[in-house]
Structure 1
């Protein structure tokens, strides 16, 4: 997708009613290079950024204040419901103990959300997440890795783990 075009489209989205003008929003995202299916409904406060590829299947709902940042490939299937304030991103960094910052070189890993999924409020899907068909990602959960079809994916418990040098 074109980062510059997305930047311009963001300003148009802000002017549109939150839950109206869905056809225009689809056209605008297609103009940026995204593959957008039929009857995709995107709330105006959703933010799209990055220069990777984005594909959204038919009849999908992208809720208010969702943030989708693609630095490689993000594929959201058909009939997906994404609740408010979800984050989907596929960029990260290699851990670098010797550099000036622990966040070393950038890396990207694809994200796939299969058909029929429900991504609940406040969920974060990180790079290399593959959410199986008709699965639920519970509210405020964080994913990384592959999850089978028909799964309830939940949890976010932070704990300190000492870093070990290689």
Structure 2
């Protein structure tokens, strides 16, 4: 197959070419740059390009955001070093969420199509979720409130609230909070 003829190039941009290219340069200098230590500068830069980010959000160095205009993050979130939002579709993150270091959230795939056409599906992460180190979250995923994904989990599909999940099949292995603790946190 001649990949130069594969459908989908630039279909997910939802912005003019100049904005995408300008964002690439600004992201490198002010967001991904490991020497740039100011979380507030990262957040202001992302907001300037259309990201909707709540208050008290911490973005550590080496983070990447493909298209900030397709990113929503609630209040009091921590985004770990090297986290990558490869958001060719929308990613919506609730409040009090931790996306730990080197986690990768991707909304795009080729769904094993022979023509390599891009297929995108959004990601929704509810309040209180903790994605520990090096988790992968795939497009079309909805993660329920207070879920904890153990390191290197591939998170996909619908994950029930309060679950602890692990592994390449995102298997539930327990509950994050005791029933009384969990219910008290929801009120």
For normalisation by structure 1, the TM-score amounts to 0.83
Aligned-pair CA distance for 1:83: 1.1
Which residue of structure 2 lines up, in the alignment, with residue 11 of structure 1? Answer: 29
Alpha-carbon distance in 2 for matches of 1:131, 1:91: 17
Residue 147 (structure 1) aligns with: 159
The SS at the match of 1:121 is: coil
Shift of 1:144: 1.3
Query: Which structure shows the bigger proportion of residues in strand conformation?
Result: 1
The equivalent residue for 1:161 is: none
SS of 2:47's equivalent in the other structure is helix
Work out whether 1:120 is the aligned partner of 2:138.
Answer: no
Deviation at residue 57 of structure 1 after TM alignment = 0.5
Q: Is the 8 A contact 1:40 1:59 kept in 2?
A: yes
Kept in 2, the 8 Å contact 1:50–1:71? The answer is: yes
| Matches for 1:3-152 after TM superposition, within 5 Å | 3-7=20-24, 8-13=26-31, 14=33, 15-17=35-37, 21-50=38-67, 53-97=70-114, 99=115, 104-152=116-164
State the SS of the aligned residue for 1:28: helix
Which stretches of structure 1, 4 residues or more, deviate above 2 A after TM superposition? 1-6, 94-97
Q: Residues 85-110 of structure 1, C-alpha deviation per residue, up to 9 Å, x if partnerless?
A: 0000100013234x5xxxx2110001
| Pairwise CA RMSD | 1.7
Aligned to 1:162: none
Secondary structure of the corresponding residue to residue 9 of structure 1: helix
* Equivalent-residue separation in structure 1 for 2:133 and 2:150 (angstroms): 8
Q: Aligned partners of 1:95 and 1:82: how far apart in 2?
A: 28
User: What is the distance in 1 between the residues matched to 2:125 and 2:98?
Assistant: 10
Taking the aligned partners of 2:154 and 2:112, their CA distance within structure 1 comes to: 20
Structure 1 gap segments, 5+ residues each: 158-166
Tell whether the 8 Å contact from 2:51 to 2:69 is kept in structure 1 after alignment: no
Across the two proteins, how many residue pairs are aligned to each other?
Answer: 149
Find the aligned partners of 1:123 and 1:78 in 2 and give their Cα distance. Answer: 19
- Taking the aligned partners of 1:83 and 1:51, their CA distance within structure 2 comes to 19
Secondary structure class of the residue paired with 1:55: strand
Which structure 2 segments of 5+ residues have no match?
Answer: 1-14, 170-187
SS of 1:125's equivalent in the other structure is: strand
